Structure 1
């Protein structure tokens, strides 16, 4: 089921050799740009039109009524409510320490630089509602924004054909969290609404949340008009495992991410042929029993998935670092020691009892993570994502005089004499 890539005996870990989903974001941008332009100039009307065409839903107001949010929370299954509350509490616990206080540095006597951490004023949080409506993504988006101190939070998720509203569990989680500004708008239309605003929805300062390639393309198109968290693509998992790993666990974890989408990536990296063969047996057995068998089979057999044979665990560590997985599991001897040496990953899951699905819901970590190798330069969503650092510079006369000639010299060297003069007029008095 998984194609094999044999790197044994080679030091080559070139990114081009590793399986990776292919996303033509530029082509998707060309497709969705006319919609974004119409939203920019005409507001809600093109959103209603595209929602009718693509989702089969005729919208009146875009905003979800307060009574619909209340009803969704009231009708929530008690067991599901308990699970959601546990997830919220653990995410809050893990994210609360991320809220940074101001940093004041005395550079010289009488001269300080203060770095203030100020929350974004208004954010638009996107929650997918297609193949798998991700109510858990409400928690992962809203909780860090609230802890950062964001004053205005808007949520958008696609309307369901049966109700004309977002998924009921998504609405219930919004209600539990007090996120009462919710819009029944999905895909790139939601991104356009957040970026440009409508008569119901004020423009935001920042957009976060995962989505399909068209959501990703729309986020790229409006970047600069608003801030974005990342260009997150379809989910991916890499598992670095040796002969101590349980093939039942490994197969289950590869399947767990494959059920998201036919384009989801599941990659096993191992020096053990015996483990790989046992995992292949388990994949066949478990895939046949899973609910989304067709979707999982397509994902596991796709070019974005595969099994990479490596010389040893050290070689495997280099390979997973080159791959820079959204989710990286390490199921080896000395797993924690290896995990602490990884440089490139969105999140790392250590040992046999830390599966990715734990992080998706109840580990306390955030599941909105960089994909497509972006973990080489980007981080997952956190409280820090919603904070801006503003530097405050305060020097008195003596502190300015002490450094004035250096400023003048540097300004003259750059051909900007007025910069130096702005200091001279103060220090000469």
Structure 2
């Protein structure tokens, strides 16, 4: 990972993968209504007696895997590693590196939280609080339940660790969204610090840091101190590091010398080892992230084909708008789904063919509208992770910021 290594090329099909991950997140939150009140044992019993039971089990299994967040962490690692390369070559100041990403994140976030609070307020005025507070799907806590410290933590994206320093226990205003952004901002800060301390060789510093965190995680796991890493960047760093590994592999892809082949082999072996550990010890994020990273490395040769394929265009459109969809979808999924069920669409098949698709499509439509009216105003070349990029909505694919769902 020396300074003389080749710079990794652009991974053009990342918008496709963002779109797939985004759709998984929205579907997961829309499909919660299908398996409320059903334990895993009950689903297995149903699956054993009829094809309908098997379908219910399959739907519940697919909508409860939470693949999207781990995939987004991997994409974030890949994009931020590329951003560090670009910043190092250009001599960018670490403060500039970090604040540009803060400006890219916080204005849309605050507006989305305002939208979220307004939607809950309208429900309260109409006497429909039960749709989001005790409805058929995900329960969203009313905004008045949050303390001042919890409000501050949510608005500053420090809520996952704020409780260690001040105030009440963690409470996310926009559950399913805030916790991932809190970790994302910590990743940005760590990368900015690495750029400050190791401006000429940030990738080598990332390798060393990843090895140290892996050793620390082993020690913490061995002594049963998992709570010690809860809410801080080390909790999901290994998923993030899988994206770093994809970038490191790409740095050697144009070389065919023995050293490059050994390095790529070592990277893939490390990802396989992480996946095996995740499988054995039921570490969900590590297992999903390692498998996804290996998939990205394996499909790298088909990058241009995947980007140009007609079937991938809708997913790429979702990927370019994934942050907006991610910020706005949860309240829409919950309220639309619960409202349709209360309206009478409570039969299982009505929920499968009407409630879940309607909630999903409505969420995507709101996200597209939010992108057009809000997020696009904060998109410019200074906010993307790849060098020499233009606006996110342009026709040329690029490695932009990846914000997990």
User: What is the TM-score of this pair, normalised by structure 2?
Assistant: 0.25
* Structure with the higher fraction of residues in strand conformation: 1
Task: Give the TM-score normalised by structure 1.
Answer: 0.24
Q: Using CA pairs below 8 Å that are at least 6 residues apart, which structure has the higher relative contact order?
A: 2
Structure index of larger Rg: 1
